[in-house]
């Protein structure tokens, strides 16, 4: 899992770029030059100075009285005083000039300085999303008399605009566009040192009454943000905390932090930012990007009299307008959730979160808590299961029956409404702020989260989710030790009856049932098994688990591999144009592709691709080593290799379903229990 996130230490990548404040370096260099000039000009103990003074003493010896002789040479004493006085005057002048400059800057400081930290990653190199976003910032439409806009940009293998991929650039917005003011050698944009450098660079050069920080890139839920494609590194919340702590904003808080990132609107991220920012805007859900979704032009609406709330509201209002326009012209409707958080309320929120979760006896109610958690909407789950964030308000409501303190529930729900100043959502699940609760993620992903949280906090909630995971892990180990197998088996076999595929669960299996999947495989000539269908669209009636078979997805009469999750069907594929290809996830609805997401990393996929921009498409199939000595291979899920179908022209696609003879296919049903453990049926097939 550590390799998945690009670093061995999940919250401290060990990089030390050694950046110092550029202005201070320049000033120190001037002082050093002055000191060198002074020492060369006069040093009473250097060789030339000694002989000159000695000659002076000899010439005046006979003219001196005893009193003069017994004292220090009068001319030397007078000369030293002049030098010291001159030095003091010079230092006062230098200090005065420097102080005057700083005082002038202070008097002429602008209302706001917006600092944009943009890590391009695959969003830019693959689909130009950074270019699209920056094109929304038009200097002549923004009040640059009262606002600074400063950009640090890097972290992509390729840029499609003015940015040089071979450096880290800092740009200032003018009425003619972005103008480069600094360039650095390539370093990780996911390092705390680089972010600290940028923050201090801007703070020293572009003073303002208020500073607003905007992050742009992928989001990794409660783990962090800013995935750097060049270094395969990201900015964990630990490193984010370190970066801000080592900047000027450890003393002077940011006015507002806006996360132009997926899944950043969670309590864990808010806890870090509360030490350095007064307010925060972020999304619970994936924050989709497209050339049609323009958000950065919200800067055109910012006025000098605006409060932080109004600045945040401008961003949300602009996002809402483009999301609603997109949804009105596309079949697939995109979710959008954005909120403004009052970070001064975080301590009270934390107290009430701890009080509520301390009121639940997890040993007594583990199964009920697990089942309630499973039913909640998990953000980003259609793209990755590893980030495991849920709406805090919904979570509290679902777990209230298991609390022994009703007032703790009511107090927490009330405090959430205080903490969330404003929220806008296009789904029914979101109430403004999410929280990490481990459930669907892999064991390695959960352990990565918990290690990070345990290093940052010691509170009842962190203790609660640690205990939840320990109970689950302990149950898994107990079951494995009893059976002596690495794979759990369902007792009964799969039955095929016309268009119904079913399996009968035992009472014990049904009692711990949470959800299930069905898999259909086709054996190839190399004894590999092509996955042609995976679906979670099964129903449990009494003890019978049933899948209604409607056929296999075809493209131009060729069977392809498809996946049905949360009622949505999709294919993994590649699209190509001019010998450039992208890995994608294509959503299928009503026998046609309705939307395409970029699929080139382990982070949430948020870049919307238009099919018309490409010439051809091929569907990806996973091949598995499924069977080992007539039994399910214990590591079958990790044995896959990818292959692609033939290329289809994007302007000539026909989707349909073909009823095949299931006797020619291999069928397997997987059941997940309340400990998120898997149980597999015997594989039905020849």
Three-state SS for 413-438 is: HHHHHHHEEEEEECCCCCCCCEEECC
pTM: 0.83
Decide if 396 contacts 360 (C-beta within 8 A).
Answer: no
pLDDT at position 377 is 94
pLDDT at position 259 is 98
Both tokens of residue 68? 């003069």
The DSSP H or E segment spanning 342 is strand 337-342
Buried b or exposed e, range 290-303, using 16+ CB within 10 angstroms: bbebbbbbbbebbe
pLDDT at position 50 is 34
How many CB atoms neighbour CB 168 within 10 A?
22
pLDDT at position 600 is 80
User: Any residues with CB less than 8 A from the CB of 360 and at least 6 apart, and which?
Assistant: 369, 399, 402, 403, 404, 464
Both tokens of residue 138? 């038009």
Q: Output the CA torsion 517→520→524→527 (10° steps).
A: 50
Q: How far apart are CA 415 and CA 408, in angstroms?
A: 10
pLDDT at position 487 is 85
Decide if 236 contacts 10 (C-beta within 8 A).
Answer: yes
Classify burial at 59, counting beta carbons within 10 Å of its beta carbon; exposed 0-12, middle 13-18, buried 19 or more: exposed
pLDDT at position 630 is 81
pLDDT at position 106 is 59
pLDDT at position 484 is 67
- Helices and strands (DSSP H and E) totals, the chain: 17, 35
List the chain residues with pLDDT less than 50: 1-77
Q: How many CA atoms lie within 13 A of 665 on its CB side?
A: 21
Decide if 465 contacts 437 (C-beta within 8 A).
Answer: yes
pLDDT at position 475 is 80
């Amino acid at each position: 899992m550590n390799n998945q996130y690009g670093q061995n230490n999940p919250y401290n990548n060990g990089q030390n770029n050694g950046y110092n404040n550029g202005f201070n370096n320049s000033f120190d260099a001037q002082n050093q030059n002055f000191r060198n000039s002074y020492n060369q000009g006069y040093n009473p103990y250097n060789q030339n100075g000694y002989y000159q003074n000695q000659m002076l003493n000899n010439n005046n010896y006979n003219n001196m009285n005893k009193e003069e002789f017994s004292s220090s040479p009068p001319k030397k004493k007078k000369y030293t005083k002049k030098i010291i006085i001159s030095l003091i005057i010079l230092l006062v002048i230098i200090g005065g000039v420097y102080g005057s400059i700083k005082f002038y800057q202070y008097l002429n400081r602008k209302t706001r300085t917006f600092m944009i930290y943009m890590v391009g990653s695959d969003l830019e190199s693959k689909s130009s999303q950074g270019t699209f976003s920056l094109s929304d910032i038009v200097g002549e439409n923004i009040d640059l008399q009262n606002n600074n806009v400063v950009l640090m940009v890097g972290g992509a293998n390729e840029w499609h605009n003015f940015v040089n991929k071979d450096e880290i650039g800092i740009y200032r917005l003018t009425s003619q566009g972005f103008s480069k003011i600094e360039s650095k050698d390539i370093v990780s944009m996911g390092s705390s040192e680089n972010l600290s450098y940028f923050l201090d660079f801007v703070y020293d050069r572009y003073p303002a009454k208020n500073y607003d920080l905007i992050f742009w890139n992928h989001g990794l839920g409660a783990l962090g943000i800013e995935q750097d494609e060049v270094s395969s590194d990201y900015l964990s919340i630990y490193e984010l905390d370190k970066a801000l702590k080592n900047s000027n904003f450890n003393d002077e808080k940011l006015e507002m932090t806006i996360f132009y990132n997926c899944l950043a609107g969670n309590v864990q991220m808010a806890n870090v930012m509360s030490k350095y920012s007064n307010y925060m805007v972020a999304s619970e859900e994936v924050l989709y990007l497209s050339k049609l979704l323009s958000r950065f032009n919200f800067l055109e609406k910012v006025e000098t009299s605006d409060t932080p709330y109004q600045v945040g509201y401008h961003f949300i209002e602009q996002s809402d307008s483009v999301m609603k326009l997109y949804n009105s012209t596309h079949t697939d409707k995109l979710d959008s959730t954005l909120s403004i958080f009052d970070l001064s309320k975080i301590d009270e929120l934390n107290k009430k979160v701890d009080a509520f979760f301390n009121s639940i006896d997890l040993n007594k109610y583990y199964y009920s808590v697990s089942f309630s958690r499973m039913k909640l909407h998990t953000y980003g789950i259609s793209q990755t299961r590893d980030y495991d964030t849920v709406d805090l308000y919904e979570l509290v409501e679902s777990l209230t029956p298991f609390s022994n303190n009703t007032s703790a529930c009511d107090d927490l729900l009330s405090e959430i409404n205080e903490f969330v100043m404003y929220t806008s959502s296009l789904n029914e699940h979101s109430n403004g702020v999410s929280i990490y609760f481990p459930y669907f993620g892999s064991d390695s992903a959960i352990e990565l989260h918990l290690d990070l949280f345990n290093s940052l906090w010691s509170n009842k909630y962190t203790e609660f989710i640690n205990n939840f995971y320990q109970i689950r892990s302990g149950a898994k180990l107990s079951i494995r030790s009893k059976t002596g197998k690495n794979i759990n088996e369902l007792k009964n076999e799969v039955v095929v009856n016309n268009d119904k595929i079913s399996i009968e669960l035992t009472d014990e299996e049904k009692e711990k049932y949470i959800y299930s999947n069905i898999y259909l495989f086709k054996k190839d000539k190399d004894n590999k098994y092509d996955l042609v269908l995976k679906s979670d669209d099964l129903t449990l009636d009494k003890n019978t688990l049933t899948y209604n078979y409607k056929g296999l997805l075809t493209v131009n009469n060729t069977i392809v591999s498809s996946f049905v999750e949360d009622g949505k069907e999709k294919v993994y594929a590649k699209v190509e144009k001019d010998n450039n290809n992208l890995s994608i996830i294509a959503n299928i609805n009503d026998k046609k592709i309705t939307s395409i997401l970029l699929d080139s990393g382990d982070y949430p996929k948020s870049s919307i691709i238009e099919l018309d921009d490409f010439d051809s498409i091929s569907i990806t199939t996973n091949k598995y080593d499924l069977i080992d000595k007539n039994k399910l291979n214990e590591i079958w899920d990790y044995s896959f290799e990818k292959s692609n179908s033939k290329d289809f022209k994007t302007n000539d696609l026909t989707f349909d379903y073909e009823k095949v003879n299931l006797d020619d296919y291999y069928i397997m049903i997987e059941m997940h229990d309340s400990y998120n453990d898997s149980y597999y049926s015997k594989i039905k097939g020849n």
